């Protein structure tokens, strides 16, 4: 139901049949302007990158709760994740998430490039 605002310009077209052009154009312009004001933040929000879920996990920082040799636990944004590292990482070390497969994170040492 909320998406009907995007149909407003189409629904306002009969104005040209009902009203003289000197009134229909300004009213239609106001409808277009209102639709643009509403649509602009919606389109802008839809183009933002994912910040939640598995897509948002890649690249975030965390902390190793246990030694990762190669498996262990890490904390990212207050959540505890099962993780795997290619090299041994001691507990308390900062890590960065490289990839997530279901509920398992692949991490590297924070200062190391991907």
List the one residue out of 101, 104, 107 whose CA is nearest residue 63.
107
How many angstroms separate the CA atoms of 21 and 67, rounded?
75
Q: What is the pLDDT of residue 1?
A: 52
Paired sense of beta strands 61-64 and 71-76, if any: antiparallel
How many angstroms separate the CA atoms of 41 and 39, rounded?
6
Residue whose token pair is 């998406």: 3
Q: What is the pLDDT of residue 32?
A: 93
pTM over 0.85: no
Blockwise average pLDDT, block size 10, the chain, 114 residues:
77 89 93 91 84 80 94 92 94 94 92 69
Q: What is the pLDDT of residue 52?
A: 73
Q: What is the pLDDT of residue 7?
A: 85
Across-strand partners of 79? 76
């Amino acid at each position: 139901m909320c998406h009907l605002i995007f149909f407003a310009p189409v629904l306002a077209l009969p104005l040209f049949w009902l009203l003289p052009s000197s009134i229909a154009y300004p009213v239609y312009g106001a409808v277009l302007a209102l639709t643009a004001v509403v649509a602009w933040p919606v389109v802008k929000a839809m183009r933002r990158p994912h910040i939640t879920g598995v897509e948002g996990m890649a690249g975030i920082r965390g902390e190793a709760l246990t030694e990762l040799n190669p498996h262990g636990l890490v904390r990212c944004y207050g959540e505890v994740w099962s993780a795997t590292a290619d090299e041994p990482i001691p507990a308390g070390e900062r890590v960065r998430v490289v990839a997530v497969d279901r509920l398992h994170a692949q991490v590297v040492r924070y200062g190391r490039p991907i």
